Structure 1
């Protein structure tokens, strides 16, 4: 039986997160649109536009992550229509020291996708952390 659109998108996001955790740049780039727009935690504040610019953001993250940081999906919700979908997730993203200081901190991920030629592609990706001064738990 064919997977539902929601299941396909959930698999795509899980595969992306596994590739990020593994430092697999090709896996991270897979299933991303050429015109992707990403709003990330670090600058530039106006976001990163296009697959080449998106690609350039990952090596510094991989270097940081190689120092023992986690990147693990804790929760994932997907809504999918016939041609567009979105997903939001909470991830454990940080070093053991980060979690010792802020155990409840989670990376917030929102992904917007569109279907092209029967294939889901990430067109927008947004990563954020809450302001630790405002976190209540």
Structure 2
């Protein structure tokens, strides 16, 4: 007949472990993508900054414009950033990164420190798996302001 309850439980636990390993692997892939991206920004390597972005990426950034849509508009925002922030390891530091990765959709968020600590922002990335590779489809930078 069927498996006994303990056998079903072991099978379920085995599936959970495989799912966890798969989730961890997806999160590691995304972390590696983010690490390479931040390294590219710190070094002013625009070609690498644009890698792993979709052609229809949507960016909400701190400086104007309010929204940039498409890879060309996204690329243009980095010229302004590079002009105002000197290259180096403290140019763009993504900290306290949290990653949630499903099978084909993921998001990451954390704090962003620019220029060695002068500017503190928040950063959220939305990702989608395209042809087996993670691509950033949405990027949102925001800066806290004191009200009152």
TM-score by length of 2: 0.77
Aligned to 1:127: 141
2:124 corresponds to which of 67, 87, 110: 110
Aligned to 1:4: 25
In the alignment of these two chains, the number of paired residues is 126
Deviations 1:8-67, CA, capped at 9 Å, x for gaps? 11111111111111111011100000000000001112x000001101111111111128
Distance apart, 1:75 and its partner CA: 1.3
Matched, 1:17 2:31: no
Distance apart, 1:107 and its partner CA: 1.6
Instruction: Give the 3 Å change call, closer, same or farther, for CA 67–85 of structure 1 in structure 2.
Output: closer
Question: Unaligned stretches of 5+ in structure 1?
Answer: 99-104
Aligned to 1:64: 84
Q: Is the 8 A contact 2:41 2:91 kept in 1?
A: no
Distance apart, 1:106 and its partner CA: 2.1
Which has the greater radius of gyration? 2
Distance 2:33 2:116 in 1: 25
TM-score by length of 1: 0.83
Distance 1:90 1:34 in 2: 25
Which deviates more, 15-24 or 28-37? 15-24
Deviations 1:68-116, CA, capped at 9 Å, x for gaps? 76311221110000010000021211366x3xxxxxx522110000001
Distance apart, 1:129 and its partner CA: 0.9
RMSD: 2.3
